[in-house]
Structure 1
Amino acid sequence: MEIPTTPSIAANRPAPEHRKGGIDWPIFWISGGFFLLFLIAALVNLGWLSSVVDTAFGWATRGFGLYWQVLMLATFAVSLGIAFSKLGRVKLGGIGQVPSNSTFNWVVIIMCALLAGGGAFWAAAEPLMHFVNPPPFYGVEGKTYAAGVAALSQSFLHWGFLAWAVLGSLLSIVLMHLHYDKGLPLAPRTLLYPLFGERALKGPIAAIADATSIIAVAAGTIGPIGFLGLQIAYVLHSVWNVPDTITTQALVILAVTAIFTAACIAGLEGLRFVCKIHVWLMLGLAAFLYLFGPTEFLTTVFFKAFATHIVDFAQTAMYRGDGKWLNSWTLFYWGWFIGYAPIMAIYVAKVSRGRTIREVVVLLSIAAPIITMLWFTLVGGTGIGIELKSPGAVIGHGTQPEALLLGVAQAMPLRNLISALFLFLSFFSVVTNGGSMAYTIAMAVTGDRGEPGNWLKIFWAVGMGLVGAVLITMGAGGVSALQSFIVITAVPVSIIILPSLWDAVRIARTMAAEQGVQ
């Protein structure tokens, strides 16, 4: 069956009626109204709200967990199959289109936007938490060398090939063809066009696709904003005796919100600027950790953990043994990344025009995951190596996620300087992620009909910051409830992205024929 876009849509397809005027107001009010209702419910009865979210979370992971595991594996496999066939030479965004960014800038703005949501915070926390309490699949004793290898291998699964592949490889192929070649909106609803035709562009299908995708990514972005306030306030108190109060936490959130709002208003140039700050800070800290940390241990443990990850790849990806552990770790991550996927794919599509399918897939499904694994090894592996040599030197600061990054920094030479630099890194991680997502949500609401209005970018940037600030007044529970909600929204989103498994292949074949790829 042919994709309905090919015969029925002109290259310069006019905007659907409901998008004339720039903004899809029903989607704007549904998604914005959700966060208002969530805040009201949290303020009235946070315990009840958390209970409802926990119940729905459990239902989502029980009913869809296995499906998500298969979906993640299938997306990775299909993306590699397309990229390394002749279809990989297909150019996305139009024949003769020249990339608007240098390769370095392109890699930087994609890596920072996609990794920044949790890479700085979890690079120390997850490996060290698995080191203390090893994943059940490996059956090793905690706080041993074997536990260190298992901890990094499990972290590689959660932040590696599968996580990155679902965030834009196949979805970007579908969106870039339908938007740049066929004139459809650059919005989540467009992913369903090959299946439903015009019905996907308006009415309930469009509302569900766009609203759930926007709510999911906004919830997943607000979570790191809120936790940043808790983390920085904790470190400032632990190292420099600054009072760890709600005022300190709120000031941190207001500062980060002001900066990523300014970057968002500046558009892609502003986002590119903060991404460069972020990436150079990461590179500097990575070099310092490798040179002044347990260098020999880091070198050997990376290759051992990577080899273990590859050997056990399919088994760990499909692990179904310990349901409680699976829900807390793997399925939480899969729900988080799946919820992010449509909006992230819009961002990738926006900055990747003129790239080939092979370039996009190799970056997202291979290069970016390996870079992420190296980063987790340098940060989390440094903590593990130090802990093996001097037990308590790192985890003695506490086993909470926000304490583990501090433990690594405080165990290094120039500990207060390194602690401060890691604080800046966490700060700019949220700046790049928050700014990129606010910009992309604004694009999704308008369908990328030109540059989104500044007021719309400000609404989402400031709105996410204020929600995060209000939620932390209730403690970590309010932020956790919202971040867990992304797993619930992943249920409809995982259905929205399913057709890309076959639509991306058919679209790639269509473009190959149009471009004369032999």
Structure 2
Amino acid sequence: MEPPVPYKTSSVAARVFWPSAIVILGFVLYAAIGQETAADHVQTVQDEIVGNLSWLYMALVSLFVIFVLWVGIGRFGDIRLGRDNEKPEFSTLSWLAMLFAAGMGIGLVFWGVAEPLNFYDAPMPGTGESEAARSETAMVRTFLHWGIHPWAIYVVVGLAVAYSVHRKGRPVSIRYALEPLFGDRVKGIWGDIIDSIAIIGTLFGVATSLGLGVMQVASGMNYLGWVDDPESKTLLVILIACITAVATLSVVSGIGKGIKWLSNINMGLAAAIMLFVIIAGPTLFIANGLVQDTGLYLQEVARLSFDTGASQGDEGTTWVNGWTVFYWGWWISWAPFVGVFIARISRGRTVREFVCGVLLVPTLLTFVWFAVFGGSALKQQMDGKEDYTDGGVNTNNALFELLDTLPGGTFVAGVAILLIVLFFVTSSDSGSYVVDMLASGGDPNPPIWSRVFWALAEGAVAIALLLASGSGGTASLDTLKTAAIVIAFPFSLVMVGMCIATLKSFREERAAYLKAKQEREHERIIDRAVAAMEESIDVNGNGDTGDGGAGGTDAEGATATLTKKDKG
């Protein structure tokens, strides 16, 4: 039975809902009115964080990877996130589809072609000058940013929340993941602050992705000749408003209907487009590149995980801050949302299943995705068939430029726009659902009116971030990236507490399990000893015809003495 939630006085947790709503709405108004001034202020904060704390981001995320691998592989892996012998709530395929679509689907579509090309065109200082070196480094760096590191971040949050919710029966809330550390204090002001940080971080993280996605949709529409100015803020605002409306309808329908169906549709469309590029593109190069780049990643992942760029001077650290630190901040800002969401859909799975499913399967799928899209573009670039880097890589347009080189690419580009929109919707509705659970005191079925409110709030934040971005285009992208890094910092400290709390809970459960096992084994030994003694005495008693009664009495006394002594 779930414990009472003292901070929940109505259909929402007032001490969490209203402070979070006020901060978010205040930022929306500030960004909409101030625009250029807001962009400058956000950039100033980002400079302070990245300039002074980038080393902390690099170290923390690497430690998160080590932590989740140790937990999943080690002796805690058999702990079940639910009652003993409970079956998973969703099938494995639907489970993977939902966590993949919510975790990074829209980002993969946006960066699948653009990121390897950006790294090829402007590699990190110290990379070799040859095409082969730049190509290999581009793919390995991309794998670093989208491989086990982001999913390890999600596992840290998801595992802590899933254990507290499904194993301990707590409400769906970030605060209760820290209960092993703070006890009943999580029900007070500190718990309110933790949940509020999670809500604000989720809104900004999802809004960052939605802003990137809508910019790519506008570029695709321009590439197909549907609009003239893809950087028009009016167009971007209209697109966000329309897609947010669809996401609102989806989140109102609930997790078992709209969110699940859209996630499955997303996976089907993404697989179809990827299969098309494999067949129509450089198939052999893609296969060879996937195997080679995965091997290089495995060789380099430890070194790259701690590479701050310091050995390359200011240029090196600037490059790492602009890419790797941005990604770590982006994933951390998404962690409350994705972590709570995958915790919600992971009831009944063991810790080992959770870690392997969330950490390894999406990582392998991500590597295949980048090998197909990024590898195809790099092959065309190196063969001289296309020049994606002439005047710099057009990040928003890169996917459509690749598809245009393939037979039937125009039609597939239209399907790609639909895929982006659907990923946009699933990110927004999943994020809204999670935020609403947090703002409703952990209620797994929050009220419809608050679902609508948070879905609209996400769209409003995305619009505000685009308005606070100067002239659009690169400026918009920079502001969106800046917001992700800034909002991630306070939650990264919460995640450290989650690691400690999870470890403490698992050790206590493991100790209780071993104690119970030892007691059961001790009882079995006693029972076997008693049974053997009774059998021996029974045989001796049957053979002694002279004093059977006395023998029987002595046998009973001996048995009672043995049992009393051993059990004592």
Does the residue aligned with 1:385 lie in a helix, a strand or coil?
Answer: helix
- Using the alignment, how far apart are the partners of 1:33 and 1:480 within structure 2? 25
Structure 1 residue aligned with 2:413: 419
Once the 2 structures are TM-superposed, how far is the Cα of residue 515 of structure 1 from its aligned partner?
A: 5.8
Please tell me whether the aligned partners of residues 204 and 333 of structure 2 are also in contact (alpha carbons under 8 angstroms): no
Once the 2 structures are TM-superposed, how far is the Cα of residue 181 of structure 1 from its aligned partner?
A: 3.4
- Using the alignment, how far apart are the partners of 1:211 and 1:127 within structure 2? 36
- Using the alignment, how far apart are the partners of 2:58 and 2:233 within structure 1? 39
Q: 1:350 aligns with which of 344, 347, 351?
A: 344
| Aligned residue type for 2:359 | S
Structure 1 residue aligned with 2:428: 434
| Aligned residue type for 1:285 | I
Once the 2 structures are TM-superposed, how far is the Cα of residue 485 of structure 1 from its aligned partner?
A: 2.0
Structure 1 residue aligned with 2:504: 506
Comparing 445-454 with 372-381, greater Cα deviation is found at 445-454
| Aligned residue type for 2:150 | A
Structure 1 residue aligned with 2:331: 337
Structure 2 residue aligned with 1:406: 400
- Could you list the per-position Cα deviations for residues 80-116 of structure 1 after superposition, in whole angstroms to 9, with x for gaps in the alignment? 1121223211111222322110111111111111022
Once the 2 structures are TM-superposed, how far is the Cα of residue 179 of structure 1 from its aligned partner?
A: 2.3
Q: 1:450 to 1:305 in 2, by over 3 A?
A: closer
Once the 2 structures are TM-superposed, how far is the Cα of residue 324 of structure 1 from its aligned partner?
A: 0.9
- Could you list the per-position Cα deviations for residues 362-390 of structure 1 after superposition, in whole angstroms to 9, with x for gaps in the alignment? 01222211211111111111111121123
Q: 1:290 aligns with which of 278, 281, 301?
A: 278
Structure 2 residue aligned with 1:360: 354
Structure 2 residue aligned with 1:134: 123
Once the 2 structures are TM-superposed, how far is the Cα of residue 471 of structure 1 from its aligned partner?
A: 4.7
Alignment of 1:151-170 (within 5 A): 151-167=138-154, 169-170=155-156
Structure 1 residue aligned with 2:194: 209
Structure 1 residue aligned with 2:534: none
| Aligned residue type for 1:383 | A
- Using the alignment, how far apart are the partners of 1:515 and 1:69 within structure 2? 36
Q: 1:79 aligns with which of 65, 68, 71?
A: 68
Structure 2 residue aligned with 1:70: 59
- Using the alignment, how far apart are the partners of 2:26 and 2:282 within structure 1? 49
Structure 1 residue aligned with 2:267: 279
1:230 aligns with 2:215: yes
Structure 2 residue aligned with 1:320: 308
- Using the alignment, how far apart are the partners of 2:14 and 2:52 within structure 1? 32
Once the 2 structures are TM-superposed, how far is the Cα of residue 470 of structure 1 from its aligned partner?
A: 5.2
Structure 2 residue aligned with 1:173: 159
Comparing 18-27 with 208-217, greater Cα deviation is found at 18-27
Once the 2 structures are TM-superposed, how far is the Cα of residue 303 of structure 1 from its aligned partner?
A: 1.8
Alignment of 1:227-266 (within 5 A): 227-244=212-229, 245-266=232-253
- Using the alignment, how far apart are the partners of 1:393 and 1:370 within structure 2? 29
Please tell me whether the aligned partners of residues 203 and 461 of structure 2 are also in contact (alpha carbons under 8 angstroms): no
- Using the alignment, how far apart are the partners of 2:43 and 2:467 within structure 1? 20
- Higher-Rg structure is 2
- Using the alignment, how far apart are the partners of 1:237 and 1:343 within structure 2? 32
Comparing 150-159 with 319-328, greater Cα deviation is found at 319-328
- Using the alignment, how far apart are the partners of 1:480 and 1:22 within structure 2? 38
Structure 1 residue aligned with 2:491: 493
Structure 2 residue aligned with 1:8: none
Once the 2 structures are TM-superposed, how far is the Cα of residue 395 of structure 1 from its aligned partner?
A: 4.2
Please tell me whether the aligned partners of residues 131 and 147 of structure 1 are also in contact (alpha carbons under 8 angstroms): yes
Structure 2 residue aligned with 1:306: 294
Comparing 91-100 with 354-363, greater Cα deviation is found at 91-100
Comparing 506-515 with 347-356, greater Cα deviation is found at 506-515
- Using the alignment, how far apart are the partners of 1:471 and 1:59 within structure 2? 19
Please tell me whether the aligned partners of residues 396 and 407 of structure 1 are also in contact (alpha carbons under 8 angstroms): no
- Using the alignment, how far apart are the partners of 1:192 and 1:394 within structure 2? 48
Does the residue aligned with 2:23 lie in a helix, a strand or coil?
Answer: helix
State the percentage of identical aligned residues.
25
Please tell me whether the aligned partners of residues 134 and 141 of structure 1 are also in contact (alpha carbons under 8 angstroms): no
Structure 1 residue aligned with 2:25: 36
Does the residue aligned with 2:7 lie in a helix, a strand or coil?
Answer: helix
Q: 1:74 to 1:217 in 2, by over 3 A?
A: same
Please tell me whether the aligned partners of residues 15 and 184 of structure 1 are also in contact (alpha carbons under 8 angstroms): no
- Using the alignment, how far apart are the partners of 2:193 and 2:483 within structure 1? 16
Does the residue aligned with 1:503 lie in a helix, a strand or coil?
Answer: helix
Q: 1:196 to 1:473 in 2, by over 3 A?
A: closer
| Aligned residue type for 1:146 | A
Structure 1 residue aligned with 2:549: none
| Aligned residue type for 2:348 | G
Q: Gapped runs of 5+ residues in structure 2?
A: 310-315, 518-568
TM-score (norm 2): 0.84
| Aligned residue type for 2:20 | S
- Using the alignment, how far apart are the partners of 1:463 and 1:397 within structure 2? 37
- Using the alignment, how far apart are the partners of 2:373 and 2:477 within structure 1? 25
CA RMSD of aligned residues (A): 2.2
Q: 2:79 aligns with which of 75, 84, 90?
A: 90
- Using the alignment, how far apart are the partners of 2:462 and 2:157 within structure 1? 29
- Could you list the per-position Cα deviations for residues 234-274 of structure 1 after superposition, in whole angstroms to 9, with x for gaps in the alignment? 22122224233444433322231122111111111210100
Please tell me whether the aligned partners of residues 26 and 207 of structure 1 are also in contact (alpha carbons under 8 angstroms): yes
- Using the alignment, how far apart are the partners of 1:421 and 1:145 within structure 2? 32
Q: 1:267 to 1:112 in 2, by over 3 A?
A: same
Q: 1:436 to 1:314 in 2, by over 3 A?
A: same
Q: 1:302 to 1:369 in 2, by over 3 A?
A: same
1:467 aligns with 2:461: yes
Q: 1:445 to 1:46 in 2, by over 3 A?
A: same
Structure 1 residue aligned with 2:39: 50
Does the residue aligned with 1:96 lie in a helix, a strand or coil?
Answer: coil
Please tell me whether the aligned partners of residues 222 and 483 of structure 1 are also in contact (alpha carbons under 8 angstroms): no
| Aligned residue type for 2:252 | I
Structure 1 residue aligned with 2:531: none
Once the 2 structures are TM-superposed, how far is the Cα of residue 49 of structure 1 from its aligned partner?
A: 1.5
TM-score (norm 1): 0.91
Comparing 40-49 with 471-480, greater Cα deviation is found at 471-480
- Could you list the per-position Cα deviations for residues 309-331 of structure 1 after superposition, in whole angstroms to 9, with x for gaps in the alignment? 11111211111221111111011
Q: 1:450 to 1:213 in 2, by over 3 A?
A: closer
Q: 1:175 to 1:82 in 2, by over 3 A?
A: same
Please tell me whether the aligned partners of residues 212 and 477 of structure 2 are also in contact (alpha carbons under 8 angstroms): yes
Alignment of 1:110-149 (within 5 A): 110-136=99-125, 139-141=127-129, 144-149=131-136
| Aligned residue type for 1:456 | S
Structure 2 residue aligned with 1:3: none
| Aligned residue type for 2:487 | T
Comparing 339-348 with 286-295, greater Cα deviation is found at 339-348
| Aligned residue type for 1:191 | A
Q: 1:468 to 1:177 in 2, by over 3 A?
A: closer
Comparing 474-483 with 148-157, greater Cα deviation is found at 474-483
- Using the alignment, how far apart are the partners of 2:102 and 2:32 within structure 1? 31
